[in-house]
Structure 1
Amino acid sequence: MYRLFHRDGIPATDDLSSATGAAVQVILPGDAPIARQAPVFFAVDPRVVDTPREHDVRSGATGTTRLAPSFLVALPHGAILTEGFLVADQDNRILSDSFRAFGSLARYGFEEHPDRVFSSALPESAERPGTHLVVGIQTNLNYFHWLLEALPRLWLAQRQGLAADATIWLPPLRPWMDQMLNALPPIGRIATQGDSVTRCERLLMPARGLANIHTFSAHAFAMADDIRDRYATKTRSGRRFFISRSTASSRKLTNEAAVMAIAAEHGFEPIEPQYLSFREQVELFSGADAIAGPLGAGLANAVFMHPGSAFIEIAPEGREGDATLFANLAHHRQLDYFAAVGPTVADDPRPIDRREFAIDVEIMRDLFAQLD
């Protein structure tokens, strides 16, 4: 049986390297909500089901954002539960900071009982000696989440001098994931988490770069700056890119060709980041004056842009938690944010977050005209 607990219940320390009990080190405390900068341009397609709701959620006067705290937790005899990298202490309490949503627990076989007690058939395992560091998350195979949620964990531990002697726990790496990992300082011992339990003599869990689906941690942006400084020159290219989702398996923009043609009139070049190396993506996007594209992981590359660049998001209606994700990113990276929301395809049987959608071309004409 498992219960939940939170890092706030763990004693604070200034030095995790010598901590022998459960301890937490807060590197940056985070901040209170502040007013998010207003979009330079925002429009909702009149065919959207609930136009007032889209305005309120995305560009309302009361819209706020904040940065979550950056911290590291040390657990003696801690455990990594499943390939979802849930973390538990020696008393079988799941650290709530090790996942973003309670749905993650159900996804990995945990059945909820009253009073936030969870059960699972996970077997125990022999304890591994030494210090171990959790890097993996629940959404490793998404470009955005691997870059801005998982890798900042490793970067933070490295900056605090806690990664050199640790075994680094990662998911099986695809080539693009490995390329991104190599943008950070080299690591030594690597281990791959399976679908069971890994008990560790000493387990370190750094904060994710994304505390929830719309709240970033400061160390995610600091890591992005380090990568940009390593891979890209400070010279701006002045180029503009339109990120295509024409080959995506979901959330395609059905009239992307028409929108792209309008963008081309304003100097935008089509680009499909998934066919570029990670280094090439950093180089291109860090020098860009503007990027545009449908909601998708490719927009994560906006994190490498310089302040004052333009970031254009074309989004489908009905988004919930991540409706302000990229607006928040633009705010904290000091980018000029433009957005348009369009209707999803009514007869698409998939969940609303996977459906194809469209956008009124006249709205897009007005939007791109704002750049000139």
Structure 2
Amino acid sequence: MLDSLRMRLWRNTVAPPGEALVVPSRQVKPTRRANIHTNIRSPRERILRQLFERISYVAPALSLQRLTNCVADAESGLIVRQDGAFDDLTRPVASYHVDTTREGLAERIRASVSAKMKGELIHVFPRSSGAYGTFLLDGLCGLAELDDYISEHRLKLWLPAVFPKWVPRYLSQLGFGRRHAMRVGGFVGFNGLTLATTLNCEHCFHPNPESLAKLRRFVDAPEPTPTRRLYLMRDSGSSPRFVENEAEVRRLFAQAGFESVDPGRLSFRDQIELFASAQAIAGSHGSAFANMIFAAPGAQIIDLMPEDWIGYWDDDGRAERWLFNLTGACGHDYSLVLSPSHMNGDRFRTNSGTRPPTLNSTVDIAALRDALAHL
């Protein structure tokens, strides 16, 4: 029986300390540079190249803070502290779901409590954990680092009810069932809530190689056996990004020995085992690539990125670099194919209250052929 699947019993509540440093920050210095394949020459293309000039990055520290008498809005992810101020960890991600600058918002949240949680809970999974990459690289990585801490202090996980059903299902497969993870929505009051810095999503954008290694042990990932080439489809996803010439792209990858797979239709265990068998992974820029952490060092990654993805999010280039940083943390080779695209709607900004715009792209076949030739 897997150690990470052991049953955890909380008969009494043990309050954790107010603050704790779990993992210090560290400089990550990969040796591989990005290979960019494109026929586009534009201001965005130049911005992208500038973003990729620097290889190293800083993986943030993982620390904890315990709050008392706080209130959370499960819909947005905002947490209001006892003093009536927003908690800084949750505000950046929440600003993509609600206007956090709205006057009187904190007071309305504290006055709208619909459920009271007794005992001690821990909050590890960001509001954006419905995106698989955030779930895996922030929430689950944090859970792997904090497994012993959670057991020692007999903490239960709080899971906002807005998370898709696969989130608690995957967690239950790791031994965090209903007795250990509480899925509650609305405006929730907590007597004691410990927050992990994974809530700011920085661990997804700047992954710590040691935390990734701990996560692989936590989920009992098999020893990599690199034999397969995978092309990642997005048929089961709800992303507003589409590839106009998807059929042509699949045919080209099939000719290069890639099999088309849709990770969203697989169980968590099947995804782990599938990517552990990969020697090459390709697909449209998106969360399914996070599974590359289970592939062997030296795996070759081909990221199909639409031109309008550059600046799509108001995050100073983090969204463009996250896969590059992840390949660096895992020791993979990274190639990016930049293709023409069209965006319907305004760019997604914080505190705007708008939904992400749709983004249609047409993969540059000549640039893709060039990338495949370098495999």
What's the TM-score once normalised by structure 1's chain length? 0.80
Q: Per the alignment, in what secondary structure is the counterpart of residue 93 of structure 1?
A: coil
Query: Which among 67, 82, 98 is matched to residue 90 of structure 2?
Result: 98
Work out which structure has the larger RCO, using CA pairs closer than 8 Å and 6 or more positions apart in sequence.
2
Structure 1: distance between partners of 2:15 and 2:190: 20
Q: Deviations over 1:296-320 (max 9, x none)?
A: 2221211211211111111011323
| Percent of residue pairs identical | 21
Question: Which ranges in structure 2 are unaligned for 5 or more consecutive residues?
Answer: 1-13, 312-317, 349-356
Structure 1: distance between partners of 2:261 and 2:117: 45
Aligned-pair distance for 1:141? 2.0
**RMSD between aligned residues:** 3.0
| 1:280 aligned residue | 270
* Pair 1:265–1:145, CA change in 2 (3 A): same
* Pair 1:250–1:47, CA change in 2 (3 A): farther
Preserved contact between residue 66 and residue 215 of structure 1 (Cα < 8 Å) = yes
Query: Which among 32, 37, 50 is matched to residue 43 of structure 1?
Result: 37
| 2:183 aligned residue | 192
State the 4+ residue runs in structure 1 displaced beyond 6 angstroms.
none
Aligned-pair distance for 1:213? 6.3
- Paired residue type of 2:108: A
Structure 1: distance between partners of 2:77 and 2:190: 12
* Pair 1:227–1:370, CA change in 2 (3 A): farther
Preserved contact between residue 36 and residue 328 of structure 1 (Cα < 8 Å) = no
Query: Which among 83, 86, 108 is matched to residue 121 of structure 1?
Result: 108
Query: Which among 53, 57, 66 is matched to residue 47 of structure 2?
Result: 53
Count of aligned pairs between the two proteins: 341
- Paired residue type of 1:359: V
* Pair 1:241–1:251, CA change in 2 (3 A): same
For the pair 1:264 / 2:254, whether they are aligned, the reply is yes
What does 1:152-231 correspond to in 2, within 5 Å?
152-162=141-151, 165-172=154-161, 174-186=164-176, 188-200=179-191, 202-208=192-198, 210-211=201-202, 214-217=205-208, 221-227=212-218, 230-231=220-221
For the pair 1:359 / 2:345, whether they are aligned, the reply is no
Preserved contact between residue 33 and residue 65 of structure 1 (Cα < 8 Å) = yes
For the pair 1:26 / 2:21, whether they are aligned, the reply is yes
* Pair 1:237–1:55, CA change in 2 (3 A): closer
Q: Per the alignment, in what secondary structure is the counterpart of residue 75 of structure 1?
A: strand
* Pair 1:165–1:226, CA change in 2 (3 A): same
Preserved contact between residue 134 and residue 203 of structure 1 (Cα < 8 Å) = yes
Preserved contact between residue 27 and residue 56 of structure 2 (Cα < 8 Å) = no
Aligned-pair distance for 1:189? 3.8
Question: Which ranges in structure 1 are unaligned for 5 or more consecutive residues?
Answer: 1-16
